[in-house]
Chains A and B, each alone.
Chain A
Amino acid sequence: MCDWCMKHGAGKKWYMNAKNYSDQLAKDLNLEDYLTEQWMNFETVFIRKIMGLSSIGLGYKLKMPIIGRVIRRVVEGMIHKEETKKRNPMRADGHFGQVIPLEDGKIILSELAAEPIIENYCMCRWMQRGKKEAVCINFGILSEIIEKLPRFIPKNRVVRIDREEAMQRLEEHNKKGYIASVWFQPVPYICAICSCESPECGGLRLRNNFDLNVVYKAEYIIQLDQDKCEGCKACVSMCQFSAIRYIPSIDRVIIDYDKCFGCGICRHACKNDALRLIPREEYPGFDGKY
Chain B
Amino acid sequence: MSKTKIIIDYSKCGENGKVDPRDCHKCLEVCDPCVFLMHEALGYKEEDPYNPQHWRITPVWPSVCTRCFYCVKACPEKAIKISW
Binary contact readout A59-71 vs B (1 if CB under 8 angstroms, 0 otherwise): 1100000000000
B34-61 residues at the A interface, CB under 8 angstroms: 34, 36-40, 42, 49-51, 58-61
Decide if B25 is an interface residue (CB 8 Å cutoff).
yes
Binary contact readout A195-212 vs B (1 if CB under 8 angstroms, 0 otherwise): 000011000010001000
CA A119 – CA B80 in complex, angstroms?
35
Q: Is the CB of A129 within 8 A of B60?
A: no
Residue numbers in B under 8 Å from A149 (CB-CB): 50-51
List the B residue with the shortest CB-CB distance to A130.
Answer: B25
Q: Is the CB of B64 within 8 A of A209?
A: yes
How far apart are B33's CB and chain A's nearest CB, in angstroms?
A: 6
Q: Is the CB of B38 within 8 A of A43?
A: yes
CA A151 – CA B62 in complex, angstroms?
26
Interface of chain B: mostly helix, strand, loop or mixed = mixed
Q: Is the CB of B39 within 8 A of A127?
A: yes
How far apart are B55's CB and chain A's nearest CB, in angstroms?
A: 8
How far apart are B23's CB and chain A's nearest CB, in angstroms?
A: 10
Decide if A50 is an interface residue (CB 8 Å cutoff).
no
Report which of A48, A127, A148, A205 forms a contact with B61, defined as CB distance below 8 A: A205
How far apart are B27's CB and chain A's nearest CB, in angstroms?
A: 8
Decide if A285 is an interface residue (CB 8 Å cutoff).
no
Q: Is the CB of B64 within 8 A of A128?
A: no
How far apart are A33's CB and chain B's nearest CB, in angstroms?
A: 14
CA A199 – CA B37 in complex, angstroms?
12
Report which of A41, A57, A130, A148 forms a contact with B28, defined as CB distance below 8 A: A130
Q: Is the CB of B49 within 8 A of A40?
A: yes
Please give the number of chain A residues whose Cβ is less than 8 angstroms from any Cβ of chain B in the complex. 27
Decide if A243 is an interface residue (CB 8 Å cutoff).
no
Q: Is the CB of B61 within 8 A of A58?
A: yes
Residue numbers in A under 8 Å from B39 (CB-CB): 43-44, 46-47, 127
Report which of A47, A56, A59, A148 forms a contact with B64, defined as CB distance below 8 A: A59
Q: Is the CB of B40 within 8 A of A200?
A: no
Residue with the highest number of chain B CB atoms closer than 10 Å, among A48, A59, A131, A148: A59
Q: Is the CB of A43 within 8 A of B37?
A: yes
How far apart are B29's CB and chain A's nearest CB, in angstroms?
A: 6
Q: Is the CB of B29 within 8 A of A128?
A: no
List the A residue with the shortest CB-CB distance to B6.
Answer: A57
Decide if B63 is an interface residue (CB 8 Å cutoff).
yes
Q: Is the CB of B51 within 8 A of A151?
A: yes
10 tightest A-B contacts by CB?
A59-B63, A130-B25, A43-B39, A130-B28, A128-B34, A199-B34, A150-B51, A44-B39, A127-B38, A60-B63
Q: Which residues of A contact B (CB under 8 A)?
A: 40-41, 43-44, 46-48, 55-60, 126-131, 148-151, 199-200, 205, 209
Given A129-B28, A130-B29, list of 16 further CB < 8 A pairs?
Answer: A40-B50, A41-B40, A43-B38, A43-B40, A56-B60, A57-B3, A57-B61, A59-B61, A60-B62, A128-B34, A128-B37, A129-B34, A130-B25, A130-B38, A150-B50, A209-B64
Q: Which residues of B contact A (CB under 8 A)?
A: 3, 25, 28-29, 33-34, 36-40, 42, 49-51, 58-64
